[in-house]
Amino acid sequence: MCSGILRVKLNMSKRYNVKMESQVVVVYIKEGSQECERLESLLKHIGWEYMKYVQGVDYTEREFRLEFGEGAEYPQVSVGVKHIGGLKDFISNFNCI
> For position 39, what pLDDT does the model report?
96
The residue ranking higher by pLDDT, 39 or 5, is 39
Q: pTM for the whole thing? A: 0.74
CATH at 68: 3.40.30.10
How far from each other are the two terminal CA atoms of the chain, in whole angstroms?
15
Domain of 38, in residue numbers: 4-94
Q: Is residue 75 scored above 80 in pLDDT?
A: yes
Q: Alpha-carbon distance 89 to 71, whole Å?
A: 14
Neighbouring C-alpha atoms within 13 Å toward the C-beta of 35: 17
Per residue in 11-44, pLDDT tens?
Answer: 554 454 444 555 789 999 999 999 999 999 999 9
Q: Give the whole-angstrom CA distance, residue 30 versus residue 47.
A: 22
Which residues lie across from 85 on neighbouring strands?
77
Q: How far apart are the C-alpha atoms of 31 and 48, rounded to whole Å? A: 20
- Structural domain count of the chain: 1
pLDDT digits (tens, 9 = 90+) for 79-97: 988 999 999 999 998 775 4
Higher-pLDDT residue of 38, 8: 38
pLDDT at 55 over 80: yes
